[in-house]
């Protein structure tokens, strides 16, 4: 079934309710690799309720399933996550009751056999209180091109500086990391079931893209921000290749005043897995 552009652009969901506690905050931090050394006093506050700190990218999992994109009619077997953006208006609390308002903000037709780009936004607010953040997600619906939508105007990715990185940080992943991370919400068998992964063309389960996203945030917090996550007001990436649990993700970092640009690659395959990364800082 072809995409109905007008119907797609009208999709929204308002007032969906979610909640999370310190357990989910710590579980997420463990899932993206914090706390590997339980004696590391700088990382312990991310995984222990005493003086608990919240990783900003936790925002991507606390309202898992929000939105109405499931009513779009796209072929989900052919969908990949293209980009993820996060805008923070205040630091995430360690626990909260949330209200989520979601909408489709754009859809671009790449042509028959070339797929479609769909962009959604979700605002997360404390129930009865202030707006915390906006999540902007871009999906590439590979099987849904040719629906007659606009061809031009899709968002442009952030440009990486044309110079050598100011630093490079190795962020190891563990062979069982996808099994831990999936407990934060995304239970797609692609990340846990070897038979399913082989059936869709991978030699083994792959790491969640948003886990790689969080892993990059961990690398930046630990290496460039002196373990202060409250400095982050935005975190944007473009996904470019899968990571397998156990890979080492090398994050190349460029620092420019209130902006950090970054790119992530897997050492073992010399493959860029996240590109056009941008971390916006307050101040």
Instruction: Give the Cα separation of 246 and 33 in Å (integer).
Output: 11
Nearest to 155 by CA among 278, 2, 11: 278
The β-bridge partners of 237 are 84
Nearest to 92 by CA among 50, 121, 134, 34: 134
140-161: burial string, b at 16+ Cβ within 10 Å, e else = bbbebbebebeeeebeebbebe
Nearest to 243 by CA among 172, 194, 180: 172
Catalytic residues: 186, 191
Nearest to 59 by CA among 119, 144, 122, 103: 122
Instruction: Give the Cα separation of 177 and 33 in Å (integer).
Output: 8
User: How would you classify the pairing of strands 131-141 and 116-126?
Assistant: antiparallel
């Amino acid at each position: 079934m072809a995409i109905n552009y007008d119907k797609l652009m009208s999709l929204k969901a308002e007032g969906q309710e979610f909640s999370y506690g310190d357990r989910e905050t710590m579980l997420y931090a463990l899932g993206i690799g914090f706390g590997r050394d339980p004696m590391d006093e700088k990382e312990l506050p991310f995984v222990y309720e005493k003086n608990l700190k919240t990783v900003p990218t936790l925002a991507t999992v606390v309202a898992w399933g929000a939105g109405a994109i499931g009513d779009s009619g796209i072929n989900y077997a052919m969908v990949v996550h293209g980009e993820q953006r996060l805008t923070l208006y205040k630091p995430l609390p360690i626990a909260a009751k949330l209200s989520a308002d979601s909408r489709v903000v754009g859809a671009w037709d790449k042509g028959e056999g070339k797929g479609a780009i769909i962009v959604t936004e979700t605002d997360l607010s404390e129930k009865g209180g202030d707006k915390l953040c906006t999540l902007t997600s871009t999906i590439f619906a590979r099987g849904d091109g040719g629906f007659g939508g606009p061809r031009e105007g899709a968002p442009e990715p952030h440009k990486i500086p044309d110079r050598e990185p100011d630093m490079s940080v190795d962020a190891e992943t563990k062979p069982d990391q996808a099994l831990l991370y999936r407990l934060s919400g995304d239970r797609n068998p692609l990340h846990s079931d070897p038979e399913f992964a082989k059936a869709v063309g991978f030699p083994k389960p792959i790491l969640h893209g948003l886990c790689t996203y969080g892993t990059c945030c961990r690398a930046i917090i630990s290496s460039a921000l002196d373990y202060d996550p409250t400095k982050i007001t935005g975190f944007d990436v473009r996904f470019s290749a899968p990571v397998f649990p156990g890979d080492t993700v090398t994050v190349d970092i460029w620092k420019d005043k209130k902006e950090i640009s970054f790119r992530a690659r897997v050492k073992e395959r010399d493959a860029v897995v996240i590109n056009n990364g941008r971390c916006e800082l307050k101040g």
